[in-house]
C-alpha cells in the first residue's frame, strides 16, 4: 500500500465515494470496496482504518490473488508445526496479526470456496483455527475487502458464497472510474506532474501544452489513476526542456515499430459490448447486431451522465434532454442500480 499517495480529485462522483468511506470508517462492520483497477481501492481501505477507532492498531494487507490456492488458508488462519509438508514451525495467520485492527483483503473474488467457507466462520463467530489445530482462537478484526469483479453475479453462478457476500456487504463503496470523474484528469495530471518535476530537480513547472491536455482529457484511461500517473511521469522524465510546456505524451509504452509480432488471432464474432466498450473507439465495421450495439452505447452514455451528476436523476435527465420518467425507464432497461 503506497502511503505517499493522497486523495486527489474534485468531481462529485469521486467526492461522494470518499465521503461514504469517511462515514463508514467509525463503524465496526465490514466494508466492501468495488472498483476497476487503478481506482484507489487500497487508499479507501487505508482511509477506513485511519479514521476508525482502530487507527493505532495494525492494518494488515493481504492480496488474495498473489498466493497459490494451497497457501491462502495458511496465510489467513496460520498453521501449527507439522500441519503439512514444509510447516516446520507454528505460524500466526493474518487474522491473528490483525487482532484489534483491520484486515484488508484485496482481490477478494479470487478466494477458493474452501477459504471462503473458513472466512465466513471467522466473520460470523470471530474465531479462527490454525491449520493442524483443533483449538479456535478469538480475534477482534474489522474486515475491509476489495475486488474489481461482480460478486453478486459470481454468487448467482455459484462461484462465490452468497452468505459470505451478505456478511461482508454491510456497506459497499463503488469507486468511479477516471473517465467519469469530470475535471479530475487535469487536477491529477498537474499534481503528478509537479511532483515528478520536483523529483527531477526542475527549477519550475511548465505545465502541459494545450494539445497534450486535450489528448489526456479524451483518453479513456482503462488503467485509471495508476495509468495516468505513469503516463504523466513518463512524459516528464523524457522531456528535455523544463522551460517549455510538456509537448508529447505516450499512452502505450509498448507501442514500437520494433515490438515482437504475435500470431494473428482467429477472427471471432464481436459482441455488441466489445464494440462500444468505453475503453476503445466504436468499431462500426463489425456491427452485426444494430439493436444490441445501440443499446450498449445508450447504456454507456446514461451511466456516464449519472456518475457525472452524482446519480441525481433529475439533473441527469435534464442534461440528456429526457423526462424524468424516460430516464427511469432507461435505468430499469439497462439494470443500472442507483446505490447513492
Per-domain residue ranges for the chain? 12-176, 179-238, 272-333
pLDDT score for 281:
52
Cα–Cα dist 122/106, whole Å? 17
The answer as to CATH 1.20.120.160 being correct for domain 179-238 is: no
| Model pLDDT for residues 48-83, shown as the tens digit of each residue | 999 999 999 999 999 999 888 778 888 898 888 877
The neighbouring-strand residues paired with 91 are: 79
Cβ-based burial of 111 (10 A; exposed 0-12, middle 13-18, buried ≥19): buried
Task: Please choose, from the candidates 202, 203, 199, 144, the residue with its C-alpha nearest in 3D space to the C-alpha of residue 168.
Answer: 144
> Degrees (nearest 5) of the Cα angle 35, 36, 41?
50
pLDDT score for 279:
43
Q: What value does the mean pLDDT take over residues 189-216?
A: 95
* 323 Cβ contact list (under 8 Å, min separation 6): 317
pLDDT score for 337:
60
The three grid cell numbers given for residue 29, joined into one nine-digit string: 462492520
From the options 3.40.50.300, 3.40.1410.10, 3.40.190.10, 3.30.360.10, give the CATH code of 12-176: 3.40.50.300
Whether residue 328 is predicted with pLDDT greater than 90 in this model: the reply is: no
Task: Please choose, from the candidates 42, 57, 33, 54, the residue with its C-alpha nearest in 3D space to the C-alpha of residue 168.
Answer: 33
Whether residue 275 is predicted with pLDDT greater than 60 in this model: the reply is: no
pLDDT score for 310:
64
The mean-pLDDT minimum among 4-18, 141-155, 266-280 falls in: 266-280
| Model pLDDT for residues 170-199, shown as the tens digit of each residue | 999 999 999 999 999 999 999 999 999 999
| Model pLDDT for residues 112-164, shown as the tens digit of each residue | 898 899 899 899 999 988 888 888 889 999 999 999 999 999 999 999 999 99
The residue count of the chain comes to 340
Task: Please choose, from the candidates 33, 92, 97, 103, the residue with its C-alpha nearest in 3D space to the C-alpha of residue 63.
Answer: 103
Amino acid at each position: 500500500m503506497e502511503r505517499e499517495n493522497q486523495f486527489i480529485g474534485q468531481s462529485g462522483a469521486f467526492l461522494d465515494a470518499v465521503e461514504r468511506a469517511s462515514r463508514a470508517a467509525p463503524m465496526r462492520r465490514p466494508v466492501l470496496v468495488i472498483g476497476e483497477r487503478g481506482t484507489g481501492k487500497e487508499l479507501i481501505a487505508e482511509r477506513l482504518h485511519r479514521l476508525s477507532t482502530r487507527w493505532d492498531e495494525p492494518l494488515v494487507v493481504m492480496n488474495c490473488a498473489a498466493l497459490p490456492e494451497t497457501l491462502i488458508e495458511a496465510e489467513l488462519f496460520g498453521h501449527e508445526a507439522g500441519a503439512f509438508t514444509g510447516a516446520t514451525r507454528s505460524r500466526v495467520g493474518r487474522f491473528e496479526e490483525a487482532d484489534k485492527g483491520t484486515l484488508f483483503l484485496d482481490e477478494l473474488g479470487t478466494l477458493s470456496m474452501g477459504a471462503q467457507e473458513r472466512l465466513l466462520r471467522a466473520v460470523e463467530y470471530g474465531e479462527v483455527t490454525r491449520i493442524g489445530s483443533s483449538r479456535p482462537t478469538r480475534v477482534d478484526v474489522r474486515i475491509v475487502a476489495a475486488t474489481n469483479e461482480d460478486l453478486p453475479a459470481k454468487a448467482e453462478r455459484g462461484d462465490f458464497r452468497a452468505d459470505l457476500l451478505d456478511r461482508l456487504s454491510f456497506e459497499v463503496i463503488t469507486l468511479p472510474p477516471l473517465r467519469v470523474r469530470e475535471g479530475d484528469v487535469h487536477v491529477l495530471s498537474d499534481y503528478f506532474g509537479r511532483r515528478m518535476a520536483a523529483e527531477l530537480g526542475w527549477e519550475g513547472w511548465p505545465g502541459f501544452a494545450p494539445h497534450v491536455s486535450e489528448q489526456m482529457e479524451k483518453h479513456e484511461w482503462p488503467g485509471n489513476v495508476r495509468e495516468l500517473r505513469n503516463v504523466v511521469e513518463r512524459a516528464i522524465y523524457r522531456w528535455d526542456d523544463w522551460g517549455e510546456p510538456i509537448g508529447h505524451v505516450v499512452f502505450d509504452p509498448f507501442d514500437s515499430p520494433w515490438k515482437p509480432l504475435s500470431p494473428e488471432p482467429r477472427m471471432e464474432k464481436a459482441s455488441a459490448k466489445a464494440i462500444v466498450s468505453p475503453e476503445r473507439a466504436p468499431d462500426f465495421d463489425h456491427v452485426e447486431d444494430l439493436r444490441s450495439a445501440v443499446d450498449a452505447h445508450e447504456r454507456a452514455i446514461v451511466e456516464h451522465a449519472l456518475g457525472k451528476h452524482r446519480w441525481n436523476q433529475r439533473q441527469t435527465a435534464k442534461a440528456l434532454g429526457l423526462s424524468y420518467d424516460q430516464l427511469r425507464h432507461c435505468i430499469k432497461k439497462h439494470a443500472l442500480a442507483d446505490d447513492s
